[in-house]
Amino acid sequence: MSRIAIYGCGPDEAAAFRAAAPRYGMEPVVIEAPVAAENSGLAAGSRCVSVGHRTRLTGPVLAALSRAGVGYVSTRSVGVDHIDTGFAQRVGITVGTVAYSPGSVADYTVMLMLMALRDAKSTVLRAEVHDYRLNEARGRELRDLTVGVVGAGRIGSAVITRLAGFGGRILVHDVAAADSVPLDELLRASDVVTLHVPLTAATRHLLDRTRLERCKPGVVLVNTARGALLDTEALLAALESGRVAGAALDVVDGEDGIFSTDRRNDPIGHKALLRLQERPNVIVSPHTAYYTDHGLRDVVENTLVNCRNFGSGEQ
């Protein structure tokens, strides 16, 4: 039976791995702490390790894993922007990703979209202090709006499917889509823009100051992909000028070390994040769109399949 070392694993993930691993001929070694050079020795005897998307796998970490005999790193995410893939290749480590239910992020995306369009943040906060007055501005209905979807992969396509039920106009920007429109054209015409592309050198700050100025006045921006797709300072300036009417963000550039932690009694040095959260027209959630029971099952199963295939030479 092959061993798989699972780093940075929460209780529910650990239980799911322990339950599923025997079906794939795998013996799970669960390690609560995130992977680091200092604890890489715990992977000894495991050709495959599984890591979370919040852990940075830098050169020293990958070198230490290689010395421990690791040949395959499976990240429990779709993206690999947290891994130095070039260094991994140089030390003989293959990096693999996992697919999980696109519905998890797609459902959450549409929920954020609707919340932003109905000013749900202000409504809920007022109701919490027993102020039950209606908002001064009325909400907008999706069927009356144009939604621009940037990226039509598995998640973007799932968002498009859900939006079709609302009856509004949908524009798509994706090099692989037959009906793709240029990004600038999409920005000029869309009342809502939602991002679903991976973070790469080419897509970092995809929406920068220049592109935000090309957006339709009063646009609402939604981001459930990666924080660095949006230039946060440029977004704040566009919110303050009124060019952007609102934003719903499940990811924020520089969220590492903040999201998924309890910071109620600790100062937060991320000034841009604090400025975003202070704005009544901005919704911020802590990178939770993927966090569903169905998504967990998919991540666990696909991690085990990938590692089994690597061990058998099929990867």
291-305 tens-digit pLDDT: 999 999 999 999 999
- Which residue, among 137, 104, 116, has the nearest Cα to 192 in the 3D structure? 116
Q: What is the pLDDT of residues 118-143, one digit of tens each?
A: 999 999 999 999 999 998 889 999 99
**The pLDDT of residue 315 is above 60:** no
Report pLDDT digits (tens) over 83-119: 999 999 999 999 999 999 999 999 999 999 999 999 9
Q: Rounded to two decimals, what is the model's pTM? A: 0.92
For 33-76, write each residue's pLDDT tens digit. 999 999 999 999 999 999 998 899 999 999 999 999 999 999 99
Query: What pLDDT, on the 0 to 100 scale, is given for residue 246?
Result: 98
Cα 31 to Cα 180: distance, rounded to the nearest angstrom: 44
At 311, the pLDDT band (50, 70, 90 cuts) reads confident
At 136 the pLDDT is: 87
In degrees, to the nearest 5, what angle opens at C-alpha 303 toward C-alphas 300 and 305? 110
Could you say which of 82, 255, 270, 308 is catalytic? 255
Q: Which of 76, 226, 270, 308 is catalytic?
A: 226
What is the average pLDDT value for the chain, to the nearest integer? 95
Spatial distance between the Cα atoms of 299 and 32, rounded to a whole number of angstroms:
17
pLDDT at 314 (0 to 100): 58
- d(CA 23, CA 27) in angstroms, rounded, equals 10
* 26 pLDDT above the threshold of 90: yes
Question: Is 233 one of the annotated active-site residues of the chain?
Answer: no
Task: Give the angle subtended at the CA of 95 by the CAs of 93 and 99, to the nearest 5°.
Answer: 160
To the query of whether residue 255 is one of the catalytic residues in this protein, the response is: yes
> Residue 54: its pLDDT value, please?
87
What is the structure's pLDDT at 69? Answer: 96
The answer to whether 29 and 42 are in contact (CB under 8 A) is yes
Mapping DSSP to helix (H, G, I), strand (E, B) and coil, where does residue 297 land?
A: helix
Instruction: Single out the catalytic residue among 76, 82, 287, 308.
Output: 287
Whether pLDDT at 197 is above 70: yes
pLDDT given at position 239: 98
What lies within 8 Å, CB to CB, of 240 at 6+ separation is none
Burial 246-280 (b: 16+ CB within 10 A, else e): bbbbbbbbebeebbeeeeeeeeeebeebebbeeee
Q: Is residue 77 within 8 Å of residue 298, measured between CB atoms?
A: no
Q: How far apart are CA 127 and CA 153, in angstroms?
A: 38
